[in-house]
A and B are shown apart, each in its own frame.
Chain A
Amino acid sequence: MRDLRPLQDHITRILFTVILLVFAVTGTLVGCYQYVEGQKDVARILEGQIKIAESLIPTLLLAHEQRYQQIFQEVAGRDQQLILERIGVASRQRDPFDVCYVLDGDGRIVFISEGFTNYLGFNPSHMGHVQGVRKVSGVFQSVFSKRPVVALKYRLSEKLLFVYERDVSNILPALLHLEKGKILEEQALILLTSEGVVVYHPDQSLVRTRHNLAFDMKDFQGPNKRGLYSYVYQQRSYYALKEELEIPDGWVLYLQVPARPLMVATAKGVSLQLLEMLFLFVVMALAMQFILGRFFARPVSAIVEALAGYTPGERQRVLGAKETGVREFARIAEAINTMADDVYQATERFRSLVDSLDALVYVADMESYELLYLNRYGREIWGDIVGKICWQSLQTNQQGPCPFCTNHLLLDEGGKPCGTHVWQFQNTVTYEWYECRDQAIQWTGGRLVRMEIAINITYRKEAEDALAAEKERLAVTLRSIGDGVITTDTAGRVILINRIAEGLTGWTQAEAEGRDLAEVFHIVHAQTRELCDNPAEKVIRTGQIVGLANHTILIARDGAERSIADSGAPILDRASEIIGVVLVFRDETEKLRLQEESTKAKKLESVGVLAGGIAHDFNNILTAILGNISLAMMDAGVSERTRRLLDGAEKASVRAKHLTQQLLTFAKGGEPVKASASIANVIKDSANFVLHGSNVSCRYDIPDDLWLVDIDQGQMSQVIQNLIINAKEAMPDGGEIQVTCDNVHQGSERQLPLCQESKYVRVVIKDNGPGIPAESLSRIFDPYFTTKEKGSGLGLAICYSIVTKHGGHISVEPGPDSGTIFTIYLPLSADDGMPGEEEEGVIAAPKKAQIMIMDDDEMVLSVAKEMLALDGHEVLLARNGTEALRLYQERFASPQPIDLVIMDLTIPGGMGGKEAVTEILAVDPEAKIIVASGYSNDPIMANFHDYGFVAALVKPFQLAPFYRVVNKVLLRADKVKK
C-alpha cells in the first residue's frame, strides 16, 4: 500500500505523459510537413531556374551556328577554294580557344583555324567526334587546343566536312552569370555529358580536368514526389532537380542544393511553432489538472480517508454525504454507509453462529501469534484471551511458538493460502483430543491470519485407538501364523495377506491388496493342470468351511509351483452375515516329497530284504553247484565234451554268482570287497553283457600296460553296467560308445579332484547321444534325480557311491559336440599294480591239514568237504558256532588240533562266524579262521582282519580260488611254526 501512489499523482503523471506524447507526435508531424513543404518550395524555385539554364545551354553551344549556316548557304555548290577562304574569314571571329577545321574527302585537314596550321594534313577522320552520328559530340581534350571541347559537325559538300570544336569554357560565363541570380544559398548548377563528364561546375578545376562527376555521385536516388533527386558527393548530401537536354543529346543539367541547409531551415521554422504548441499544451494540462483535482481526486480522497477510519463489523456512519461536495460522490457515500450497516448486521449474525458451535474457533495472527478472535466455546475453557499470544494462552509449557504449529502448512511458496490442513492434536492444557481444521484467511486490513476450528474428539479418539489396537493385534496374529493366510471381502478382493502367504504367492501385502483372489492365489490341479475353483467364491456361495481338493498346486507369481493344503472359511459379522473369506493354506511340497521318498525307500528296503534273502540262499545253492562242478571237472574220467559242458555250467554259475553280488549290493550297499584286478576285463564283460543284442556297439581303447586297481569286481561291474545302460538309452537309434582307459599321474592332470593318491587308472565312457541338459549336470548324481521318464534316479547315485568307496572319483561333462562323457578315476592297486601279476593258478597244500567247516547249509558243507578232501585234508563239519567252538576246544588239546576253520558269517537262529571267531580265539589266539559269506559287501568281509579272521572266502566257492585261499593260509601258518 505504501508503494502505491495517490490518485492525484496518477492523474498528473498520466496527464503530462499524454500531453508530452501528443506534443512529440504533433511536433514530428509538423516537422515532417514543414520539411516536405520546404522541399516543395526548393523544387519550385529550382524548377524555374533550371528551365532557364536548359534553354540557355544550346544557345551558348550553338552561338556561331547561325553565322556559319548563312556562310554555308552562300558557298553552297561553289569552288572548294572559295569555300575555304570564306570559312577562313569567318573563323577569325571565333571565341577564344575554339578551333574549326575542314576535312577533305580523304579526311585530312585542308583548313584549320589560325594558330594550328601545323596540323594541316593531319587526318582526324577516324576520331570519334568526327565519325559519330551526333551533331554535338561529348566533351574531349582537343588534339589541337589541348582543352576540353565539344565538336559540332556540318557537311559542306559531298567531300568537305566542317568541324567546329567549341571550347566548353566559352559557355561558362553565361552559366556563371546565371548562378549569380541564384535564389537559394549554396545552390549550384552542374552540367554533365552523357558519360558523366563535367561540362560546367562551380568548381572550375573539375571542368578543366574533365572530371567524371557521375561516378562521384554516390547513393543516387530519385526522383521523389517533389521531383527532387538525392545523392552524396564528397560525404555531403544534396537535393537536385535534373533535366536531360535534347541539345546536346544526353547532356544532363543538375541544379543542386545541399540537404543540410534545407533541414536547418526546416528546423528553424518548426521550432517556433513547437514552442507555441508546448505553451498551449502546458496551459491545457494545468487546467485539466485543476479540474480533475477539484471535482474528482478530492472527493475520492475524502471517501478513502473515511474508509480508512472504518472498522468493519462496527456500528458506525462512515461518511457524511455533504463532505464530498459532488452529488454523484454523495450517492456513493450513502451506498457505503448502507453497506457498512449491512456488514455490521452480517457480522453479528456470524458471531452468533460461531459462538453457537460446539467447537473451538479462534483466529491468530500468523506473524505475531496474537489471538484476534475466540468464540464462546473457547472463552468458556480458556477465558477471554483475545489479544494474548496463542502459544502462551492456548497451550502450556511452551517456550516459543508451538513446535506443532501448522502455520507453515497453510501458505504455499508464494505466500498464498493453500487450503485446509486437517490434523488431530491433544491439547497441552485440557489434555482433550481435537480434530483441527486450520486454514489461512484474509483478516481485516488484508493481512493473513490463521483460523482454527477444533472439534473435541476425545471420546472418538479413544474408541478409534481401541479399534486400531484390536486391528493391530489381529493383523499381527494373522501375520504371525505359520500358515499362509489370505482374507478377502465378499467380492473376492484381497484385504490381507500374511507374510507366509506373501512368500508362497510372491505378492506383497501392498501389491495384493484390492486384487482379485484368483489373480493372487492361482491354484491348479496337479495332474490335470486345470484351474481350481475360486475358494473364496465357493465359501461365499456355500457359507461353509471348505477344504481344497488333493493335488492342488499353487503357482506363485514367479512361476514356482508348490503343493498346498488349505481351507477356506467365511468371516462373519455380529449378525452372522458373511463379510469376507479367510483362506489358510500351507506348503505341502516338502512333506509330499518326503512321503514319496519314504515310500520309495520302503519299497527298496523290502525289495532289498527279499533280494538279500534270495541271494543268501542262492549263494549256498551256487556254492553247491559250483563246488560240484569243480569236483566233477577234476574227475579224470570225465570226457572232454562233458568237461566243456561242465565248464559252460561253471561260467554260467559264476555269472549267477556276480548277479547275486549285485543283488546284495543293491539290497544292502556296504563296503566293497576289493581285490587287485584289471579293470579292463570288468569293463569288457559288463559292457558286452549290457549291449548284447542291441544296436549300440562299443569301441575300446585300453592299453596293455594298464595298471591294476583294487576293486570289488561285482560293484565295479555294476558301475560300468549302469553307465553303459545310460549310454545305450541315450542312443535309441543306435551308435557307438567309446571306452578309453589310461594310466594317469596326479601331476599330469589339471584340477584332478583326487589328492591322496598319485597314480590312477582313468576310465572314460563317451556316447554320441543328445547329452544331458546343462542345468541337470550338477544334480545328475543326486539320489532320485532322473531325466528319464521311468528312471528310478538311483543308478548314477549308486555309481557315485561305489566309486567313492573305492577311493576314486566319478565326474560328468558334456561332449565336445554332443553326447556325454563320464570319467572315473580309480587309484592304483596297493600291490605294485603291474598287470600280469594277478594271483592265478593253484597253490599246493603244504600238508594234510585238519580243517573245520561251519555252515548251516548241508549242501555247502558237503561240497566244501569234498573239495577239501580232494586236496587231501581231513574235514570236520559244524552246523553253527557253538558246535564249531566245541569241536575246536576238543581238538585243541589233542594231538590233531584243528589247523584251519572256515566259518559262515551268519547262522540263522544260532552263533555265526562273527561271534564264534572271538570265542575260538579266546581258546587259541593262534587259531586260523577264514570267514565265508555270500554277503561279499558286508563290512566284516572287507575288513576281516579287524574281526580276527585271517582270510575271507566269498560264496559260492570256486575250486581254484578256494584252494588258493585255504592253502595260502596253511602255508603262512606253516612258515610261522617253522
Chain B
Amino acid sequence: MVLKRIVVMFMVLLALGAVGCERRQEPLKIGLAINLSGRGGAAGEDIRDGALLAVEEINRQGGVKGRSLLLLVKDDENSAAGIERADQALIDAKVVAIIGHSYSSNTIKAYPQITGNNILMITGYTATTKLTGRDDLFFRTSIDCQVYGQKTATLLKKKGIASVSFLMDMSNADFVLDYAAQVGLHYQGEMTMVQFESRDKVDWQRLSQQLLAPSPGAIIMLTESSMTAVGVQYVRDQGFTGPVIGTIWTQSPDLIRIGGPATEGMSLVSFIAPDNQRPDYLQFSSKMQEKFNKPATARASRAYEMIYILADGLKRAAKIEDAHSLKNALLESEFESILGTLRFDQYGDVVRPVYEVVVRDGHFVNGGEIQ
C-alpha cells in the first residue's frame, strides 16, 4: 500500500518533469550570407547588426505564428568558395529564406544554388539587370542598374556634365559593367572606363591619373565605400575639383570615416533617403546606437527592412516553410517599412523612388528625388 503510494508520487513527479521538458516549437531559421571578412567586409557588419536587431524585435513581439525567428549569419568571405560554403551551410540548416549577398557578382554566383534548392532568396544589395524580370524565387528591395543608369544619366545632365570617367572595381564586375552600360544607354557625353581589381594590390596613383587623363567633367566611382573613400582622396590630391558620384554601394559611414574631408560634396545615387524622419526609422536608429554603439546606416536599415518584409510574408503565407507560398505572400500586397512604402512587381523586383544623396559637413543629406 505504502509502496504503491510512493510509486504514484514518483510517477506524478516524472509526468510533471516530462511536461516541463516538452520540446519547444522549432524556431524559423532565416539565413544571412554576406561578406564580413573579405575586402569591404566592414560594411557587412551593418547588414548583420540591422538584421539581428529586427529579429530580436520580432521575437520580442511574439515571433511569427508563434514561432521565434533565428538568424543564421554566414560570412561569404567575398569569394566564390566562401559564397558556396556559406549558402550550403544555410541550406543544410533548412532556412526558410536567405538574405544575400552583398554584391551583384556574389548574388549572381549564389542565385542558382539557392533558388535551385527551392529556397527564397532576397537581397537589398544587388542591382544587376541579369536577375531582372525573372519569374523565380529571387526578390530584391534594391532597384536595378536599369533604374540606376537612367537616374545617374539624369543627374549628369542636371549637373551639365559633358564627359565622365568611371572607376570600376571588377571584383563586382556584374554590377559595375551593368551600371556603366545602363548609364551609357541614357547619357550622350564621353565616358571613360578605368577598371581595377580590389582584391589585388591597388596602384592608386596610376588609377587616379587614368581617371583624370581625359579631363572628365565628373568621376563616377563604382566601388565599395572604403575603396571609394581612398579613391576620392587620390583624385582630389590630383587636383580634381569636379563632381565625384558614387552609388548606394558607397552609402556607408565608412566612406566619410575613411575618406574624410575629401568626400565632402560627393553625390550618391541611392534609394535610401538620409533624412528619413519616419517614427519607426528614428526608433530603429536609436536602437542601433543603443545596442551596437554605432549609427544607423543604409545597409543596416535595408537589412532591418528585409527581415520585417520576410516576417510579414511568412505570417501571411499559406504554408510557412514553403518558398512558393512565401513568394505569393510577398507579391500580393504593399509593405510599409522604415524606408517607406514599397511593393514588388510580378518578378519580385522592387518599385521605389531614387534620390541624390550628398555628403555635406561630414554627413549624408538628401539632395532630392531624381525624377
* Chain A interface residues toward B at CB < 8 A: 9, 12-13, 16, 20, 115, 118-119, 121-128, 140-141, 143, 146-147, 195-196, 205, 208-212, 215-216
Instruction: Apart from A118-B203, A210-B45, list 13 A-B contacts with CB within 8 A.
Output: A9-B1, A123-B233, A123-B260, A126-B257, A126-B261, A127-B257, A141-B42, A196-B292, A209-B37, A209-B44, A210-B42, A212-B49, A212-B52
In the complex, are the beta carbons of A209 and B75 less than 8 A apart?
A: yes
A-B contact pairs, 10 of them (CB 8 A): A16-B6, A122-B233, A123-B262, A140-B42, A141-B42, A146-B38, A147-B37, A208-B75, A209-B44, A212-B52
- B6 contacts which of A20, A121, A140, A205 (Cβ < 8 Å)? A20
Residues of A within 8 A of B203 (CB): 118
In the complex, are the beta carbons of A195 and B237 less than 8 A apart?
A: no
What's the Cα separation between A140 and B294 when bound, in Å? 13
Query: Is B12 positioned at the interface, with any CB of A under 8 Å from its CB?
Result: no
- B260 contacts which of A127, A195, A210, A216 (Cβ < 8 Å)? A127
- B258 contacts which of A115, A118, A127, A216 (Cβ < 8 Å)? A127
- B204 contacts which of A20, A119, A196, A208 (Cβ < 8 Å)? A119
User: How far, in Å, is B52 (CB) from chain A's closest CB?
Assistant: 6
What's the Cα separation between A121 and B205 when bound, in Å? 9
In the complex, are the beta carbons of A12 and B2 less than 8 A apart?
A: yes
- Name B253-297 residues within 8 Å CB distance of A: 257-258, 260-262, 291-294
- Name B235-265 residues within 8 Å CB distance of A: 237, 257-258, 260-262
Interface centre among B1, B40, B202, B230 (most CB of A within 10 A): B230
What's the Cα separation between A209 and B73 when bound, in Å? 10
In the complex, are the beta carbons of B41 and A212 less than 8 A apart?
A: no
Chain A, Cβ-Cβ closest to B230: A122
In the complex, are the beta carbons of B233 and A215 less than 8 A apart?
A: no
- B48 contacts which of A123, A141, A209 (Cβ < 8 Å)? A209
Interface centre among A20, A123, A128, A195 (most CB of B within 10 A): A123
In the complex, are the beta carbons of A118 and B45 less than 8 A apart?
A: no
In the complex, are the beta carbons of B234 and A121 less than 8 A apart?
A: yes
User: How far, in Å, is A192 (CB) from chain B's closest CB?
Assistant: 12
Query: Is B39 positioned at the interface, with any CB of A under 8 Å from its CB?
Result: yes
Chain A, Cβ-Cβ closest to B38: A146
- Name B168-211 residues within 8 Å CB distance of A: 201-205
Task: Given A16-B2, A143-B226, verify A121-B237 contact (CB < 8 Å).
Answer: yes
In the complex, are the beta carbons of A208 and B258 less than 8 A apart?
A: no
Query: Is B9 positioned at the interface, with any CB of A under 8 Å from its CB?
Result: yes
In the complex, are the beta carbons of B234 and A141 less than 8 A apart?
A: no
Query: Is B36 positioned at the interface, with any CB of A under 8 Å from its CB?
Result: yes
Task: Given A16-B6, A20-B6, verify A195-B37 contact (CB < 8 Å).
Answer: no
In the complex, are the beta carbons of A215 and B292 less than 8 A apart?
A: yes
Task: Given A12-B2, A20-B6, A210-B45, verify A143-B230 contact (CB < 8 Å).
Answer: yes
What's the Cα separation between A139 and B52 when bound, in Å? 20
Residues of A within 8 A of B237 (CB): 121
- Name B1-41 residues within 8 Å CB distance of A: 1-2, 5-6, 9, 36-41
In the complex, are the beta carbons of A20 and B36 less than 8 A apart?
A: no
Q: Count how many pairs of residues, one from A and one from B, have CB atoms less than 8 Å apart in the complex.
A: 83
Residues of B within 8 A of A147 (CB): 37
User: How far, in Å, is B45 (CB) from chain A's closest CB?
Assistant: 6
In the complex, are the beta carbons of B41 and A209 less than 8 A apart?
A: yes
Chain B, Cβ-Cβ closest to A16: B2
In the complex, are the beta carbons of B230 and A210 less than 8 A apart?
A: no
What's the Cα separation between A211 and B291 when bound, in Å? 13
Residues of A within 8 A of B39 (CB): 146
What's the Cα separation between A118 and B37 when bound, in Å? 21
User: How far, in Å, is B287 (CB) from chain A's closest CB?
Assistant: 11
Chain A, Cβ-Cβ closest to B293: A195
In the complex, are the beta carbons of A124 and B258 less than 8 A apart?
A: yes
What's the Cα separation between A196 and B48 when bound, in Å? 14
Residues of B within 8 A of A115 (CB): 201
Residues of A within 8 A of B202 (CB): 118
What's the Cα separation between A196 and B73 when bound, in Å? 17
Chain B, Cβ-Cβ closest to A117: B201
What's the Cα separation between A127 and B262 when bound, in Å? 13
Chain A, Cβ-Cβ closest to B39: A146
User: How far, in Å, is A142 (CB) from chain B's closest CB?
Assistant: 9
User: How far, in Å, is A25 (CB) from chain B's closest CB?
Assistant: 14
Interface centre among B36, B73, B294 (most CB of A within 10 A): B36
Residues of B within 8 A of A16 (CB): 2, 5-6
What's the Cα separation between A216 and B2 when bound, in Å? 51
Residues of A within 8 A of B38 (CB): 146
Residues of B within 8 A of A118 (CB): 201-205
In the complex, are the beta carbons of B233 and A13 less than 8 A apart?
A: no
Residues of B within 8 A of A13 (CB): 2, 5
User: How far, in Å, is A252 (CB) from chain B's closest CB?
Assistant: 14
- A146 contacts which of B5, B41, B48, B56 (Cβ < 8 Å)? B41
Chain A, Cβ-Cβ closest to B198: A146
User: How far, in Å, is A109 (CB) from chain B's closest CB?
Assistant: 11
Residues of A within 8 A of B204 (CB): 118-119, 121-122
Residues of B within 8 A of A210 (CB): 36, 42, 45
In the complex, are the beta carbons of A119 and B48 less than 8 A apart?
A: no
Residues of A within 8 A of B40 (CB): 146
In the complex, are the beta carbons of B49 and A215 less than 8 A apart?
A: yes
Residues of A within 8 A of B229 (CB): 143
User: How far, in Å, is B30 (CB) from chain A's closest CB?
Assistant: 15
Chain B, Cβ-Cβ closest to A209: B36
Residues of A within 8 A of B258 (CB): 124, 127, 143
In the complex, are the beta carbons of B9 and A141 less than 8 A apart?
A: no
User: How far, in Å, is B110 (CB) from chain A's closest CB?
Assistant: 18
Interface centre among A127, A209, A211 (most CB of B within 10 A): A209
The 4 closest A-B pairs by CB, nearest first: A126-B260, A209-B36, A141-B42, A208-B37
User: How far, in Å, is B114 (CB) from chain A's closest CB?
Assistant: 20
In the complex, are the beta carbons of B44 and A215 less than 8 A apart?
A: no
> Beta-carbon contacts of B201-232 to A below 8 Å, as 1s and 0s?
11111000000000000000000001001100
What's the Cα separation between A128 and B75 when bound, in Å? 25
Residues of A within 8 A of B49 (CB): 212, 215
What's the Cα separation between A216 and B51 when bound, in Å? 12
User: How far, in Å, is A462 (CB) from chain B's closest CB?
Assistant: 69
What's the Cα separation between A512 and B39 when bound, in Å? 115
What's the Cα separation between A20 and B2 when bound, in Å? 11
What's the Cα separation between A226 and B355 when bound, in Å? 57
User: How far, in Å, is B328 (CB) from chain A's closest CB?
Assistant: 31
What's the Cα separation between A500 and B171 when bound, in Å? 127
In the complex, are the beta carbons of A208 and B36 less than 8 A apart?
A: yes
Chain B, Cβ-Cβ closest to A125: B260
What's the Cα separation between A127 and B258 when bound, in Å? 6
Chain A, Cβ-Cβ closest to B24: A235
What's the Cα separation between A126 and B257 when bound, in Å? 7
